[in-house]
């Protein structure tokens, strides 16, 4: 019998495979970004139907196949069910998933990105913080975690409050980075910095961002 691997992770995305299976991409705490098959997940009443849904967070028991892992069991602790009925929130979550998929690799230490992804989903599900702020903080912190933050762009003149906010985001742990709100004028400054850095650093076209920009 094959040895099982136990990981904590979040489903980034899923795709149908064959007549009844799903292939999921999971960002894990110990093995980076991995692919795994959820066998029979598309069958009625399958125990893996919900497990294979994007943004599920929990513990996954896996065994290793030739090209990917196979899910043997899962204990999901957060399904982020609010996102199922929140169109705008689900679009933000899909965008975060695309950025995570862009940055993360298999067998890399992606603990900070996993924490950031999870906390971003929590923040989007919470009414007490602006979705625009969550998006900007997520973009900036992703760049910072991956060692690509160049500092404040030379062509931008920012207020002291915006500079302080950028320093706070840079120095904060991922699980603490959404502990503030901003006045609208400061938020616009932070949004401009995040957008500028995303466009200049992330060499990728994010499809979910196109959708998000049409509804927000």
> 114, 31 in Cβ contact below 8 A?
no
User: Considering only CA atoms, which of 102, 95, 114 is closest in space to residue 173?
Assistant: 114
CA 11, CA 56: separation in Å to the nearest integer? 5
Mean pLDDT of 147-162: 95
Assign domain 82-215 to a CATH class. mainly alpha
Please measure the distance between the N-terminal and C-terminal CA atoms of the chain and give it in whole angstroms: 51
pTM, full prediction: 0.94
Give pLDDT, residue 216: 79
Structure tokens at 186: 């400061």
> 101, 140 in Cβ contact below 8 A?
no
Q: Give residue 25's pLDDT band: very low, low, confident or very high (50, 70, 90).
A: very high
Helix (H, G, I), strand (E, B) or coil at 192: helix
Distances in whole angstroms, Cα of residue 101 to Cα of each of 24, 33, 71, 110, 128: 12, 8, 20, 11, 27
For the chain, what are the domain ranges? 4-79, 82-215
CA 39, CA 19: separation in Å to the nearest integer? 10
Mean pLDDT score of the chain: 95
> 117, 100 in Cβ contact below 8 A?
yes
Give pLDDT, residue 54: 95
Fold classified for 4-79? OB fold (Dihydrolipoamide Acetyltransferase, E2P) (2.40.50)
């Amino acid at each position: 019998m094959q040895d099982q691997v136990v990981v904590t992770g979040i489903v980034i995305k899923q795709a149908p495979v064959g007549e009844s299976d799903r292939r999921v991409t999971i960002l894990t705490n110990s093995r980076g970004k991995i692919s795994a098959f959820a066998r029979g997940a598309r069958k009625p009443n399958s125990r893996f139907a919900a497990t294979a849904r994007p943004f599920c967070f929990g513990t996954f028991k896996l065994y290793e196949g030739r090209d990917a892992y196979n899910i043997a069991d899962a204990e999901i602790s957060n399904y982020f069910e609010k996102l199922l009925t929140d169109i705008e929130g689900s679009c933000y979550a899909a965008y975060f998933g695309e950025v995570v998929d862009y940055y993360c690799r298999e067998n890399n230490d992606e603990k900070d990105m996993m924490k950031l992804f999870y906390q971003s989903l929590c923040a989007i599900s919470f009414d007490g913080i602006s979705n625009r702020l969550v998006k900007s903080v997520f973009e900036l912190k992703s760049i910072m975690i991956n060692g690509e933050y160049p500092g404040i762009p030379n062509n931008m003149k920012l207020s002291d409050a915006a500079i302080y906010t950028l320093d706070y985001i840079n120095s904060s742990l991922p699980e603490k980075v959404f502990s503030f709100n901003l006045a609208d004028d400061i938020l616009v400054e932070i949004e401009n910095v995040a957008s500028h850095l995303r466009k200049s650093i992330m060499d990728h076209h994010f499809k979910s961002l196109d959708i998000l920009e049409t509804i927000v």
